[in-house]
């Protein structure tokens, strides 16, 4: 099984995260000030590094990372069984814990139980929570916005995405024309995940076939 480039080269530290300097500072401030605010929301377009920031932050601060998703919030009994021991027990090998509620957009507007559980979790937690979402300004998140520190994650610029891809190309011991990287970056529209997925296609099928396939896709 071929490991996707986005996973193979996921940022290991915050310094590896490109184009999000202000956001990285905000995450550090949130952690320092905890529990003044118990939860932080990283919000912005798909593929801009929201999850990677949370994972890199936990690794950099030697924190045990406990990941949740929207489906976990729909079953209160299951959530209690899984989460309660995690938030009540100290980590044996790490300095502390960080709870990651990834892709909160998956909580539907009618999923009141899920949102209620998330809000309750924020009230009860002894550990900082990072929530990722594409659109925090949806009306369903009105109460969540009041409880959380909001941090905007922006789309990356073309030259930042090209720089990331150039490093990956070197690590993969291959060669891809600068023109091809420019085409990928332009059409990714700030989405690093999309760019690396296209780069993986280039490496797998070759530039000529990719350009041909890309033209058909367009």
Within 13 Å of residue 102, how many CA atoms lie on the same side as its CB?
16
Burial state string for 170-200 with b = 16 or more CB within 10 A and e = fewer than 16: eeeeeebeeebbebbbeebebbbbbbbbbbb
Question: How far apart (Å, rounded) are the C-alpha atoms in residues 152 and 129?
Answer: 16
The confidence score (pLDDT) of residue 164 equals 97
The pLDDT assigned to 74 comes to: 74
The pLDDT, as a whole number, for residue 218 is 66
pLDDT at 73: 79
How high is the pLDDT of residue 91? Answer: 67
Q: Which residues contact residue 138 at a Cβ distance below 8 angstroms, ignoring those fewer than 6 apart? A: 105, 109
Per-residue model confidence as pLDDT tens for the chain (218 residues)? 789 999 999 999 999 999 999 999 999 999 999 999 999 999 999 999 999 999 999 999 999 999 988 777 777 776 777 777 766 666 666 678 999 999 999 886 565 578 888 898 899 888 999 999 999 999 999 999 999 999 999 999 999 999 999 999 999 999 999 999 999 999 999 999 999 999 999 999 999 888 888 777 76
Answer for the pair 68, 100: CB distance below 8 angstroms, yes or no.
yes
CA dihedral of 113, 101, 105, 20, whole degrees rounded to 10: 150
Task: Please state the pTM of the whole predicted model.
Answer: 0.91
Per-residue pLDDT at 69 = 82
- On whether the CB atoms of residues 119 and 86 are closer than 8 A, the answer is no
**Distance (Å, whole) CA 184 – CA 93:** 42
Contact between 46 and 193 (Cβ < 8 Å):
yes
Q: Report pLDDT for 87.
A: 67
């Amino acid at each position: 099984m071929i490991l996707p480039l986005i996973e193979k080269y996921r940022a290991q530290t915050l310094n590896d995260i490109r184009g999000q300097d202000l956001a990285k500072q905000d995450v550090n401030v949130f952690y320092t000030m905890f529990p003044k605010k118990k939860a932080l929301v990283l919000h912005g377009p798909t593929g801009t590094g929201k999850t990677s920031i949370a994972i890199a932050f936990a690794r950099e601060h030697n924190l045990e990372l406990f990941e949740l998703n929207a489906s976990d919030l729909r079953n209160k009994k299951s959530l209690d069984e899984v989460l309660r021991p995690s938030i009540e027990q100290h980590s044996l090998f790490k300095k502390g814990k960080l709870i990651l509620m990834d892709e909160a957009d998956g909580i539907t507007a009618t999923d009141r139980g899920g949102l209620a559980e998330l809000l309750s979790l924020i009230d009860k937690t002894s550990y900082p929570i990072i929530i990722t979402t594409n659109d925090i300004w949806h009306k369903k998140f009105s109460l969540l916005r009041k409880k959380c520190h909001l941090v905007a994650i922006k789309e990356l610029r073309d030259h930042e995405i090209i720089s990331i891809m150039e490093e990956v190309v070197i690590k993969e011991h291959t060669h891809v024309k600068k023109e091809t990287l420019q085409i990928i970056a332009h059409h990714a529209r700030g989405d690093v995940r999309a760019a690396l997925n296209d780069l993986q296609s280039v490496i797998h099928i070759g530039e000529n076939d990719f350009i041909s396939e890309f033209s058909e896709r367009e």
